[in-house]
A = this chain, B = another copy of it.
């Protein structure tokens, strides 16, 4: 059942913070429908950070829509710059990678995006940008650099802020947006997808294509998903993330993480990560926020796992958290006594230090076989297996030697 171009644009707009421009997008979609030539939907991957979170899933879901309408995703693996890392040594988040590390990370990445995108040559083309960047010489780079001015680069939010604060910007950082833009020229991108923080870079690609007298790409950026802390952009390094390969349930499972979201985030999660109609989820949120959150969790698990995993996660969550029961499965830890509880909580990985463990005990968050233990000085000798618990979601089964 064909979706009309007006409907396609309307569906894309649900998850698009900016589309530059809608006219160009409409004309590309129209021409593609007439000629049968699929559009090429570019998206870039940084091999130094291969983890895919629900934040990345937002633009990926838009790409999936394009794929379903017959277009082709073109994944660019930025291997060329990963090989140099950050030559100034200032930015430790840009380590220098070997060819093997790049290959491993690319494989990890592919496995994760496979949760959202259609695979197969018809739907997905994978390119390494060393293919063309490795051919450039100094004259090519001078010509490329001449396309932008220092002033234009300093208009980019992240550069502007650093320049104004006196945080150094190394010159090679100005070259990266140009290289990324050159990728668009080389693969003849029709559309580039990215998060809102990629707007500047992706517009450089659009400009460079114009400069080469090619048809400029449409730039679509999606909003940055706020992490589970309700405060900042979701990011693995900030610990406020839900990964697309996270298990459905358990202490680090999707269900529990979604249930821990601040209510205020539900609307954006529903909008960006599900296809439910806005009226429907808005009404549900108002009616019963808790039920709406359960439904959101199940919708997300259904996407990245399946229907039965969603149901099982809900059942498990009800049993453990709501019914205050212990989960059916949990890790085990062999213990020889007598011992105090604090070091066991550290060993189990529930807390970072004895001090934190003692605080948690005094707060009443620690239980043994369902009974609160508030005295950190007490010595324990376990004769039979017991369940040690922190809060509602951390459990370990203690086995005597």
**What is A's interface to B at a CB cutoff of 8 Å?**
80-81, 83-84, 86-88, 133-134, 136-139, 141-151, 153-154, 159, 163, 166, 168-172, 174-175, 178-179
Contact = CB atoms under 8 A, between A and B. Distances in A.
B141 A141 contact: yes
B146 A172 contact: yes
A133 B147 CA distance: 21
Nearest to A149: B168
B179 A138 contact: yes
A213 B144 CA distance: 30
A150 B171 contact: yes
A172 B153 CA distance: 12
A145 B176 CA distance: 11
Contact of A137 (B136, B147, B163): B136
A174 B141 CA distance: 12
Contact of A150 (B83, B134, B174): B174
Given A84-B139, A84-B143, 10 more contacts: A136-B137, A143-B172, A145-B171, A145-B172, A147-B171, A148-B170, A149-B168, A151-B163, A151-B166, A171-B174
Contacts of A169: 149-151
A146 B88 contact: yes
This chain: copies in complex: 2
Interface centre among A87, A134, A138, A179 (most CB of B within 10 A): A138
Q: Would you list the 3 A-B pairs with minimal beta carbon distance, nearest first? A: A145-B172, A87-B146, A145-B171
A170 B149 contact: yes
A138 B174 CA distance: 13
21 contacts: A83-B139, A88-B146, A133-B138, A136-B137, A137-B137, A138-B141, A141-B172, A144-B172, A145-B175, A146-B171, A147-B170, A148-B170, A149-B170, A150-B159, A150-B168, A150-B169, A150-B171, A151-B168, A153-B171, A171-B178, A174-B174
A136 B142 CA distance: 12
A138 B134 contact: yes
Contacts of A136: 137-138
Contacts of A146: 86-88, 170-172
Contacts of A178: 171
Contacts of A168: 149-151
A83 to B, nearest CB: 7
A137 B139 contact: no
Contacts of A138: 80, 133-134, 136, 141, 179
Contacts of A149: 168-171
Given A150-B169, A151-B163, A151-B169, A142 B174 contact: no
Given A138-B133, A174-B171, A150 B151 contact: no
Nearest to A80: B138
A120 B154 CA distance: 49
A148 B171 contact: yes
A84 B137 CA distance: 12
